[in-house]
Structure 1
Amino acid sequence: MIKAINNNRYFKFFQPKLFYINQDIDNDDPVRLLSAILEEMDFSNLLQIFPNKTKVHPVNMFAVIIYAYSQGKYSTRDIEFLCKDSQRTKFLLNSANAPNHSTISHFLSKANNIIYELFCQFVEKLLKLSEITTETIYIDGTKIEAYANKYSFVWKKSTLKYKERLEENILQLIDEFNKYFNKELDSIFDILSFLEKLKIYKVYGRGKRKSKEQLFLEKAQSYVEKLNKYINYLEILGERNSFSKTDKEATFMRMKEDYMRNGQLKPGYNLQIGVISEYIVSYDIFHNPSDTKTLIPFLEKIKSQNIEVKNVVADAGYESLSNYEYLKINNYVSYIKPIYYEKAKTRKYKKDLNRVENLEYNEEENRLFRKDGLELEFLYYGKDKKTIYFRNPETEKKVRYNYEFRKLSKESKDNIESEFGKQLRMNRSIQVEGAFAVIKEDMKLRKLKVRGKNSVKREIALFCIAYNFNRYLAKLVRKKQGVILHPLKIA
């Protein structure tokens, strides 16, 4: 029988409130507001990780860390100093002794897999307090540099090339070995096992001649070591094209901060966030450098949080046929800006009759026309049966046309050009791009300080909780509770 844990024994006093009421703290102080939110949350999973008595209660420790992040203190040593120096952190600690940096680090490591659950609860409480509906979500992504060495790269193409070359050398060694020993072994591992059993006398240094057996053994050991290394690299890579040796889950990608303008690749993660009424309600980390393939798994994650969304607002980086079809099948309204949207406003673009976007398609007769009446010659269907290839008789160029994609793209374009769509587009720039501006510029999250995907997710969760708490305070000050959309500015 499992013994129930009485978590009340951690406190000095039995009290209805979790945090000690200090008379020096004002009633509208941020720490009181934070404690009020946390007292409504369920910390049972967190407490199960710390079943034994600790100097600082786990909930108090979590509260201190969130407050520290909201005040721009992110390192464990800075948090330790804040705990010793600030009256507010003493309030959150319930008058317990200030934890040292190693205790804080130990707490974060043990609570690694629980922080995301606490983030979801925190978001739920904020949305409830702010009386906000989750009808519209703004999605965007950015690349965050990993805590890894810049030149610790491993490339998939290079690994495959080196592995192929090694396999050729192994076949050559097997052939030479079988001729010398009069054997019929066909595996480098069998050869190595055979040679190790011979107990070969080894010699090294100048003036010493190695025996043929020793040369075979050293070559076999070297080849097996390299082969295992390449196999391990390919397992780590999976579907990725690269990884870093110092953070194996980081992928090399181009960052926006390219001061030399030479397209230098750096190890990093693609951070995706979803924002509703200025709150980050969901986030995820991806290995894909582009945003296109992240939309569907990200929306699935939002769905798993029981956040019901109707309107999906995103920039041109998310436009693809698979994304449009997913949104339509799952009854989302697409407000994705088409890739060509800004170019389409120019006179040159509008006058270009050969632009795919300017062609007119007859679905019933499967015929494609230019606006001046010129018909393009049908060639064949693509493998997916959705893409059709035509030939322009005037330019002799092949034209690739996907009617389904063009139709869904036009629907999305019509949506963003409506009055409501214009307001959503403006709010996307303010809310989700504004969130990244605060996180990267004000909160200084340009380069991570932890390694590994799980640790990165935990770190991002703490930043997002702190960001949301600061937005909640700002909304209280500005009396913007319940405000979902910023109004359009009329010139």
Structure 2
Amino acid sequence: MRRFHPMDRETDLLLPLSVQDWLSKGHLARYVVEVVEGLDLSALVQAYGGTGSTPYHPAMLLALLIYGYATGRFSSRKIERATYDSLACRFIACNLHPDHDTLATFRRRFRKEFEAAFVQVLEVARENRFSRFGSVCLDGTKIHANASRHSALSYGHAEAIEAHLQAEVQELMALAERTDGAQVPDGMSIPAELERREERLAAIAAAKTKIAARAAERFAREQAEYEAKLAARAARVAATGKKIGGTAPKAPTPGPRVDDQINLTDDESRIMPVAGGGFEQCYNGQAMVDPESMLVVVAQVVQAVNDKQQVVPMLAKLQALPAQLNDAKQLTADAGYFSKDNVVACETAGIEPLIAVKRDQHHPHWSERFREPPELAPAATPVERMTNRLKTGAGRAAYALRKQTVEPVFGIIKSVMGFRQFLTRGLDNVQGEWTLVCLAWNLKRMAVLRPQ
């Protein structure tokens, strides 16, 4: 008869065990704790007062959140449950069990401090020589907001609903003024119905106010662009003495448009096109990734659907990093980031741009891989120099790294770590969560790159 290992759940252990004995030496949880406890978290520690109940140490809460995000646990309730069920989380939490409200409050309260921890982790990577941080690849990905696109309300639809509700209010008030109560249906309370409609009217009025404020900002921006175009045309006429052909710039129209929308659940999110077709309520997650180590160097969340306006602010964030981290000499990005101003901005910052001007055709002739472009004229423009550089063998090889650098990072974050939707709402909270996601990815990646 085959013999099996005995199954005995009743006999007590002879000696108490330590959680140190349950995790392997190279476990990710050990590495996260090691790195986080080596960071300067004095800003987090000093934020706690000397009164109230005894708090959990911020180093333990931060390590618990990072490990949770690195292993696909984003909900504070799931992380709390893991402190009971997961040996790794028990190890990080020192056999304590911070509740989900503590974890959620910590994540929301210290979102700005996460950015400082993010930079310190990059400095740890630099000290361990995981990368020289000599170049960056820039790309963006749409991440679902914690809101449904079906909760979006357009300005035109808001006005239609508002008129309908106001008519119902008048009808209910007229019904209430009648002395014959027999006309009121059974179970209906006129004051409750009026209160419900007044609440909806107040919510619609607030939404219309926000849409109007956005429209005013858009008009100011479009008016400035319109005046700049007129000034450029006037300068060109003065320089050449000839009338400019074509259609003159059209003046922008003030006020909200009928199709201007706002989401009633998260009014700072936007409807964006997503991969595979269709539109969803999303934020645009931007990341600068180091091609040598695949570490995220700069993480930013924006509301803009288009990536073209993100080069300058991302460059500013890159240059704001400590000296040993902002020494990138080359930036690669796809055609969604191309514009003349972006090319000039890169060269002004001392960074060589490799931004695709347009989409390359599939399956080019084999000879194009070995063909070198002709020499440029000395008076070539920045765009011409960059286009020529992209056609060289070195330029093609450098640009090819983009697809195998930043896109796999987004793929692993979404498909392996499972992060496809923000849990928080509002741009500031979402920015803190995206920083936490990229921080978790960096530590997960550094654990692989470290000497085993």
TM-score normalised to structure 2 length: 0.68
1:326 aligns with 2:345: yes
Give 3-state SS (helix, strand or coil) of 1:421's partner.
Answer: helix
The residue that corresponds to 1:32 in the other structure is 30
Equivalence map 1:131-170=2 (5 Å):
131-155=130-154, 158=156
Aligned counterparts of 1:266 and 1:239: Cα–Cα separation in 2: 24
Could you tell me which amino acid in structure 1 is paired with residue 132 of structure 2? T
What is the root-mean-square deviation of aligned Cα atoms in Å? 3.5
Equivalence map 1:386-465=2 (5 Å):
407-465=381-439
Q: Offset of 1:49 from its aligned partner?
A: 2.4
The residue that corresponds to 2:296 in the other structure is 280
The residue that corresponds to 1:71 in the other structure is 71
2:306 corresponds, among 286, 290, 313, to 290
**What number of residue pairs does the alignment pair up?**
348
Q: Deviations 1:401-448 (Å, cap 9, x if unpaired)?
A: xxx8xx433322322333332332222111101101101111222222
In structure 2, relative to structure 1, the CA distance for the partners of 1:35 and 1:230 (3 Å cut) is closer
In structure 2, relative to structure 1, the CA distance for the partners of 1:47 and 1:207 (3 Å cut) is closer
1:300 aligns with 2:316: yes
Aligned counterparts of 2:21 and 2:341: Cα–Cα separation in 1: 58
Aligned counterparts of 1:238 and 1:285: Cα–Cα separation in 2: 23
Structure 1 range deviating more: 52-61 or 298-307:
52-61
In structure 2, relative to structure 1, the CA distance for the partners of 1:207 and 1:45 (3 Å cut) is closer
- Higher share in strand: 1
Give 3-state SS (helix, strand or coil) of 2:450's partner.
Answer: helix
Q: Offset of 1:50 from its aligned partner?
A: 2.3
TM-score normalised to structure 1 length: 0.63
8 Å CA contact retained: 1:311, 1:333: yes
In structure 2, relative to structure 1, the CA distance for the partners of 1:363 and 1:47 (3 Å cut) is closer
In structure 2, relative to structure 1, the CA distance for the partners of 1:54 and 1:125 (3 Å cut) is farther
Q: Offset of 1:99 from its aligned partner?
A: 1.4
Q: Offset of 1:237 from its aligned partner?
A: 6.0
Which stretches in structure 2 are left out of the alignment for 5+ residues? 1-17, 164-171, 180-197, 219-259, 366-376
Q: Percent identity?
A: 23
Equivalence map 1:156-235=2 (5 Å):
158=156, 204-205=174-175, 230-235=208-213
Give 3-state SS (helix, strand or coil) of 2:288's partner.
Answer: strand
Give 3-state SS (helix, strand or coil) of 2:401's partner.
Answer: helix
Could you tell me which amino acid in structure 1 is paired with residue 174 of structure 2? Y
Which stretches in structure 1 are left out of the alignment for 5+ residues? 1-19, 167-201, 210-220, 259-263, 347-361, 365-403, 480-491
Q: Deviations 1:128-179 (Å, cap 9, x if unpaired)?
A: 22342121001101111111121222446x49x969xx9xxxxxxxxxxxxx
In structure 2, relative to structure 1, the CA distance for the partners of 1:89 and 1:329 (3 Å cut) is same
Look at both structures and tell me which one has the larger radius of gyration over its CA atoms: 1
Q: Offset of 1:203 from its aligned partner?
A: 7.2
In structure 2, relative to structure 1, the CA distance for the partners of 1:25 and 1:227 (3 Å cut) is closer
Q: Offset of 1:239 from its aligned partner?
A: 4.5
Aligned counterparts of 2:173 and 2:445: Cα–Cα separation in 1: 71
Aligned counterparts of 1:253 and 1:417: Cα–Cα separation in 2: 33
Aligned counterparts of 1:76 and 1:339: Cα–Cα separation in 2: 43
Q: Offset of 1:206 from its aligned partner?
A: 7.8
* Structure 1 runs, 4 residues or longer, greater than 6 Å off: 206-209, 224-228
The structure showing larger relative contact order (alpha-carbon pairs under 8 Å, at least 6 residues apart) is 2
1:244 corresponds, among 249, 253, 263, to 263
Q: Offset of 1:55 from its aligned partner?
A: 4.5
1:22 aligns with 2:3: no
Q: Offset of 1:84 from its aligned partner?
A: 1.2
Q: Offset of 1:25 from its aligned partner?
A: 3.9
Q: Offset of 1:314 from its aligned partner?
A: 0.6
Aligned counterparts of 1:278 and 1:433: Cα–Cα separation in 2: 10
Structure 1 range deviating more: 266-275 or 443-452:
443-452
8 Å CA contact retained: 1:243, 1:267: no
